[in-house]
Structure 1
Amino acid sequence: MTTTASVQAEIERFLRSTEPEVLCITGEWGVGKTYNWQRIFDRLRSAKEIGLGRYSYVSLFGINSLEAFKQSIFENLEFILPESEAAFDRLLARGNNLFQQGKKAIGAVSAIPTVGGALDKLASPFLFSSIRTQIICVDDLERRGDGLSVKNVFGLISYLREQRDCKIVLLLNEIKLGESGTIEFNDYFEKVVETKVVFAPTATEAAGIAFSNREALSELISEYTIKLDVKNIRVLKKIERLIRLVLSGPIPKPSEKLLRQLVHSLVMLGWSRFDSGARPPSIEYLRRDSIGRTTRSEKRTPDEERWDAIRRSYEFVYLDDFDLALARFAESGILDQKLIRAEAEKQEERIRQADQTSSFANSFRKLHDSFSDNHDEVCHAIVTAFENNFDVVSLTELNQVVEVFERLGEDRLAEHVIKYAEQKAPAPFWLYEDPFHRPLSDRLAKIIEQKKSEDTPKVDFEHDLIAAAQTYDPKVIERLAARTPAEYLALFDSKEEKELRTVVLSALDYRKIANASPEMLKVVKDAEEALRMIGKRSALNAFRVNNFGVSLNSSE
């Protein structure tokens, strides 16, 4: 059996038995000692399989004296009604009611300083005398108050077992007892405790405990928490809460791919936010571009090297805008439904386009991956995919389709897809400049020449900037060098997200060329000047500009 299964089996044996004994369950904070104990206790209680009829749960958190410990055992006393004759059940039920009424009355009178103090001294021994032949769970020994020693706790536990026929389970994090507590724990442990088990579940076992409802979402959350090796039950439940809040609010019906990204991201972000004991990367660190940091050869600390290794293993290297919206929620705890919904809609569109691209590419599988006599089926698949996914088809891909149909002797279909493109494609579609200068079908070449002649009076600054970074066409670079910093500023201000990164990096691309021409250097100079103007607007923009390797001080 696994560690978790062994502990669970021991708890079940302990609860079913009537023999007085002491069981010690130790483990790190958050691994689910109390959660696991309570879950098994509730299950056996419902099944009426617990050996004794009474139970007290006591947390020693902040308890400063032995008397307070004793009083807490009585105050938390409850009856477990075992399977028995109906008359006996009724008798126990009446006894339980009397105990509850007695506790309320004593609590009310205790609020009167003089009378209450005297009553406490008189009543406490009497009330504690009722504690016998029962199960007592003593939790949080390491969090006890300064006035309560481990020695005294063990002394009372020993008395309850030997003189009152009680069964006591002790739940604690042994390594957090402190120096004096550890010494006393080791001194008296063998004299008091019969059985000790260490509760140290694996990430798989922890997920099984935290997400006992094995529905599809729980399985998906478990997949990623296991991959990240999260073992803290409290952290797992908090991560689950983050995910369910988003799904019950701004994104109630995400696509399968968006749901997977949402869970994948919030597991990492939630782990970063809640599991301080695991020393995870901060959310701020996760926001940084680790690829850029690595390629810039920045010196990293041992923690940063460990964090980057975790990010690579978990495949969480780059955060897109949807991830950043989720990071904001995980960090602040405030669910900005409008922001997350808007970014989710944008991400769904990106996913749709990616799926279309994949669908179009897959339509060629029937052409390349078979020797079957399925000419018509191949042509139909390509035409259908071409039309259904045309908004993600490029001019180069149109040319590939035309060439395939021409080689297959399907001139009619070649003409069909060209006319379809003429009707559907916007003007920029026909102006794309292939950096590899691959030959085009004669039919397409004529259309492109016509489109270019119609578009000659217009100059597309953005198109030139991106194309020049790929082709290094000197004529295009010369046109770019004639632009002003103000024009670069206007272009950068008009872009967001991936489009912004594309135009900025295209403008700065010539920095890596050792023998850059004067025109190339002019492009870089004007682009950097535009970025400096943006950076001077705010500290946030200065940070963003610096990420592109541009200092606000032009002399640097």
Structure 2
Amino acid sequence: MSIVQVEKALTDFAVHKTGSAIVLKGEWGTGKTHLWNKVIKKHRGSFDRKTYSYVSLFGLNSLPDLKRSIFENSVPTEKAGSVTTKESVFENLKKLEFSDATTGLRKMFGYGKEAKIPFVGSFGGVIDSIQYAMVKDTIICIDDFERRGIALSARDVLGLISNLIESKDCSVILILNEGSLQKDDEFFTFSEKVFDYEVRYAPTLDEAASVVFSTTDLYEKKIVENVKKLEMNNIRLLRKVRYFANLIKPFVDGKFDEILDESTKLIPLAIYAKYSGAEKVVSIEDLEKYKGGLSLFPPDKKELTVEQKAIEDKKIAKVNFFREYGYDEADNFTMEIIKLVKNGYADSNSLVPLIDSITAVSEKSKRRKIFTDAWFVFHNDMSITDADLLDLFEKAVIESGGAANPYEIDGVLEIFTAAGLEERGRSIVDEYFKVLFESRSLTNRNEMYRLPKNPYIAEKLEQYFGDVRKAWSIDELVDNYLGKQFSGEALESLSAFTADQFYTYFKLLGSPKFKSYAQSLVDLGSRTELADIQSHYAVVFLKVFEALKRMHDESPLMALRMNKFMDYQPMYDHKINLVRQVDES
């Protein structure tokens, strides 16, 4: 049912008494409780019954607990949907009309752990004797059925609902997460005897998005486009998307459109990957590892076992998922978004310089688009002539400025070779590698989706990797790789430097580089699990923090200037203790 249909069914139940007991069911997080609260707040002035009570079974362990909750949470229907307060409970207890009820209530709410009500005994005893007897002519909402305590059985809950209907002239709605119960749960044995009908709530993508996001805000409209690509109709997850999107909005607002597009694309994807459960195609770890890639050639076909084929099929499904969504690769910006989602907060010290440096990433994206557009024409535009197609690819390789990957250039050379123009293709390859040698944008074979097949390109690649293995200084490494993801040989090279060398590097690093460069380096420590002390990330972090701590301890004024980095002290202490434990063992 759509939101409109479900809302009408719930309104009919609450206002016109169409049924004494119903079930509102749907998938986890789709906003069932939210919709019910919307209905009662909108129509509570038209309720025929005098009283309303909302009860969550979360944590309730007995039938007396449930009866007590129904009584305590009762409010006049004109206040339905309001949060139960101490005053509303007080009003309910005053109905008991004991001569010194006020004194007993004062004890209960402030002067004693257990209130004694005259002639009855402890407050808990009232539930079984008097309070439940006063529950009548009430609309009762019972929520979180699947999260009830172990000692509170489905039989007990459904038996009480039956009693409320038959003996108390009440109407009861049970809110249930579909698929949350085991097949042998007692609910299925007794539910048909208790409930008149079920209402299934399954909002469409548009309906779910309209509950959470603005339809006029450009930033949120971009987010909605992407959550719909992911087919996310879980309102709880959509609220997480909005929460994290709002955290990062101040950092991307007013920046390049490419940055805005990336943030509104990455946040929904990260939430999907982390929280969507078993049905998700990719995990948060897949986002961190993905290097993208577009090629003329499909993956090599080999004889695989059943198990190997299943693993390969999963990999292919993940690659296809990322390509269809428009996710290119895990760069520094991606890693910061993932860290944001993992940690639940925005670190301005790392995000601000990252946003400032993301301009370079945006430029790379623009250059890559020239290349990917050429491939799109190759696969889809059959009207273009061979000569024009070759000119298009030559222009794309030259203007992309090394933004393409070597295995993509492999496909270009294959096209020119098929056209009988291999020499022209090789000259284009030479131009590509000339730019690649200058930019050093590729640091590790592991960054490549696959190695090129053409011997000419493979030889060029070997020359390239042989050159990038030369000894680089800290300054060269950081200058070349800031704004990208530190990885592979570049990170390994950084890990070889000592804390003293990092100290000297920082002392000589002038404005305005110091803050952003130091932050990017020390932040490498959060890229690994706390227990991982052998990765290059962790090794670099330990040495960088030691250098910054040494600067911090030089003088009180220097300490004040360097305090922004001391938040990493607990992480450093934890990792260094693990190092000592390994050394001692």
For normalisation by structure 2, the TM-score amounts to: 0.58
Of 215-224 and 237-246, more deviation after overlay is shown by 215-224
Question: Which of 209, 212, 216 is matched with 1:210 structurally?
Answer: 212
Q: Does 1:137 align with 2:78?
A: no
Match of 1:343 in 2: 354
Correspondence list, 1:279-298, <5 A: 279-291=280-292
**1:16–1:337 Cα change, 3 Å:** same
Could you tell me how far 1:136 is from its partner in structure 2?
0.5
**1:148–1:293 Cα change, 3 Å:** farther
Where 1:285 maps in the other structure, the secondary structure is helix
In 2, distance between residues paired with 1:288 and 1:305?
Answer: 14
Query: Does the 8 Å CA contact 1:22/1:161 hold for their aligned counterparts?
Result: yes
In 2, distance between residues paired with 1:106 and 1:179?
Answer: 46
In 2, distance between residues paired with 1:291 and 1:304?
Answer: 12
Query: Does the 8 Å CA contact 2:273/2:284 hold for their aligned counterparts?
Result: yes
Structural RMSD (CA) = 4.6
**1:244–1:117 Cα change, 3 Å:** farther
Where 2:173 maps in the other structure, the secondary structure is strand
**1:269–1:159 Cα change, 3 Å:** same
Where 1:129 maps in the other structure, the secondary structure is helix
Kindly provide the CA deviation profile for residues 279-299 of structure 1, in whole angstroms up to 9, marking residues without a partner as x. 342222112235359977596
Query: Does the 8 Å CA contact 2:105/2:115 hold for their aligned counterparts?
Result: no
Give, as a single letter, the amino acid of the residue that structure 2 aligns with 1:41. Answer: I
Where 1:278 maps in the other structure, the secondary structure is coil
Query: Does the 8 Å CA contact 1:60/1:144 hold for their aligned counterparts?
Result: yes
Where 2:30 maps in the other structure, the secondary structure is coil
Query: Does the 8 Å CA contact 1:536/1:542 hold for their aligned counterparts?
Result: no
Could you tell me how far 1:60 is from its partner in structure 2?
0.9
Query: Does the 8 Å CA contact 2:230/2:269 hold for their aligned counterparts?
Result: yes
Match of 2:226 in 1: 224
In 1, distance between residues paired with 2:198 and 2:171?
Answer: 14
In 2, distance between residues paired with 1:202 and 1:42?
Answer: 23
Match of 1:535 in 2: 492
Match of 1:40 in 2: 39
Match of 1:6 in 2: 5
In 1, distance between residues paired with 2:93 and 2:342?
Answer: 43
Q: Does 1:54 align with 2:54?
A: no
Could you tell me how far 1:529 is from its partner in structure 2?
6.3
Query: Does the 8 Å CA contact 2:20/2:171 hold for their aligned counterparts?
Result: yes
The number of residues matched between the two structures is: 405
Match of 2:578 in 1: none
In 2, distance between residues paired with 1:518 and 1:219?
Answer: 47
Could you tell me how far 1:322 is from its partner in structure 2?
2.4
Give, as a single letter, the amino acid of the residue that structure 2 aligns with 1:514. Answer: P
In 1, distance between residues paired with 2:267 and 2:72?
Answer: 41
Query: Does the 8 Å CA contact 2:145/2:175 hold for their aligned counterparts?
Result: yes
Where 2:243 maps in the other structure, the secondary structure is helix
Match of 2:168 in 1: 164
Kindly provide the CA deviation profile for residues 164-187 of structure 1, in whole angstroms up to 9, marking residues without a partner as x. 111110001243223542xx2233
Query: Does the 8 Å CA contact 1:110/1:119 hold for their aligned counterparts?
Result: no
Where 1:175 maps in the other structure, the secondary structure is coil
**1:21–1:296 Cα change, 3 Å:** same
Correspondence list, 1:65-464, <5 A: 65-81=62-78, 98-99=91-92, 104-105=105-106, 107-108=108-109, 111-112=113-114, 118-122=122-126, 124-181=128-185, 184-211=186-213, 215-248=217-250, 250-291=251-292, 300-348=311-359, 351=362
In 1, distance between residues paired with 2:132 and 2:342?
Answer: 47
Kindly provide the CA deviation profile for residues 456-498 of structure 1, in whole angstroms up to 9, marking residues without a partner as x. xxxxxxxxxxx9983289xx99xxxxxxxxxxxxx99xx9xxx
Q: Does 1:470 align with 2:429?
A: yes
Could you tell me how far 1:8 is from its partner in structure 2?
1.6
Query: Does the 8 Å CA contact 1:21/1:193 hold for their aligned counterparts?
Result: yes
Could you tell me how far 1:112 is from its partner in structure 2?
3.1
In 2, distance between residues paired with 1:148 and 1:226?
Answer: 39
Kindly provide the CA deviation profile for residues 506-540 of structure 1, in whole angstroms up to 9, marking residues without a partner as x. xx999866379999966654545668696365465
Match of 1:550 in 2: none
Could you tell me how far 1:253 is from its partner in structure 2?
3.2
Could you tell me how far 1:266 is from its partner in structure 2?
0.7
Of 192-201 and 257-266, more deviation after overlay is shown by 257-266
Query: Does the 8 Å CA contact 2:252/2:259 hold for their aligned counterparts?
Result: no
Kindly provide the CA deviation profile for residues 330-381 of structure 1, in whole angstroms up to 9, marking residues without a partner as x. 22223111322222223346657988999xxxxxxxxxxxxxxxxxxxxxxx
**1:241–1:154 Cα change, 3 Å:** same
Query: Does the 8 Å CA contact 1:110/1:120 hold for their aligned counterparts?
Result: no
Where 1:26 maps in the other structure, the secondary structure is strand
**1:124–1:276 Cα change, 3 Å:** same
Could you tell me how far 1:202 is from its partner in structure 2?
2.7
**1:527–1:214 Cα change, 3 Å:** closer
In 1, distance between residues paired with 2:287 and 2:54?
Answer: 41
Could you tell me how far 1:67 is from its partner in structure 2?
0.8
In 2, distance between residues paired with 1:242 and 1:26?
Answer: 28
In 2, distance between residues paired with 1:214 and 1:516?
Answer: 50
Query: Does the 8 Å CA contact 2:28/2:177 hold for their aligned counterparts?
Result: yes
**1:525–1:33 Cα change, 3 Å:** same
Could you tell me how far 1:242 is from its partner in structure 2?
0.1
Kindly provide the CA deviation profile for residues 386-428 of structure 1, in whole angstroms up to 9, marking residues without a partner as x. xxxxxxx99x99xxxxxxxxxxxxxxxxxxxxxxxxxxxxxxx
Query: Does the 8 Å CA contact 1:20/1:165 hold for their aligned counterparts?
Result: no
**1:500–1:130 Cα change, 3 Å:** farther
In 2, distance between residues paired with 1:227 and 1:207?
Answer: 12
Give me the identity figure in percent: 24
**1:512–1:356 Cα change, 3 Å:** closer
For normalisation by structure 1, the TM-score amounts to: 0.61
User: Which blocks of at least 5 consecutive residues in structure 1 are unaligned?
Assistant: 84-93, 359-392, 398-435, 437-466, 478-490, 544-556
Query: Does the 8 Å CA contact 2:137/2:169 hold for their aligned counterparts?
Result: yes
Query: Does the 8 Å CA contact 1:290/1:318 hold for their aligned counterparts?
Result: yes
Where 1:176 maps in the other structure, the secondary structure is coil
Where 2:75 maps in the other structure, the secondary structure is strand
Match of 1:370 in 2: none
**1:511–1:273 Cα change, 3 Å:** closer
Kindly provide the CA deviation profile for residues 108-146 of structure 1, in whole angstroms up to 9, marking residues without a partner as x. 488239989744224542112221111100011111112
Query: Does the 8 Å CA contact 1:269/1:327 hold for their aligned counterparts?
Result: yes
Match of 2:83 in 1: none
**1:503–1:69 Cα change, 3 Å:** closer
Query: Does the 8 Å CA contact 1:53/1:134 hold for their aligned counterparts?
Result: yes
Q: Does 1:514 align with 2:455?
A: yes
Query: Does the 8 Å CA contact 1:251/1:341 hold for their aligned counterparts?
Result: no
**1:123–1:518 Cα change, 3 Å:** closer
